[in-house]
Amino acid sequence: MRAVIDADGKQRVRILGGSYFFKPNHIIVKANVPVELSANLEPGIVPHTLVVDGAEAGIAIDTVLGTEAKTFAFTATSTGKYPIYCKNRLLFFKSHREKGMAGILEVVE
């Protein structure tokens, strides 16, 4: 999913998390353009997190998700592909990331 730049100059992206998925799981944003990322979970009982691991590009999100949307603002400073995932894991089971709760934030020129 390619983010569209709104009239106010911000790229807005919405992520929905659920039973071992993120929708969309591939997001494309432009470098050096402000991004407003909103994320929440569909109703359920399994707790999930959202991690976007792109500190070298000015993106560092690590939060617990709930059904109420949380909004994060950042401006990616370098191009590349940065992992999105849930870091939760129950003892002796595959991590949520290994079960498919993962994606990519791609930053392009």
Domains of the chain by start residue, with CATH: 11-108 (2.60.40.420)
What is the side-by-side strand order in the sheet with 35-41? 21-23, 11-18, 35-41, 70-74
| Percent of the chain with pLDDT strictly greater than 90 | 94
Q: How many Å apart are CA 52 and CA 60, to the nearest integer? A: 6
**pLDDT of the residue at 94:** 94
- Residue 52 confidence class, pLDDT cut points 50, 70, 90: very high
Inter-residue contact 48 to 41 (CB < 8 Å): yes
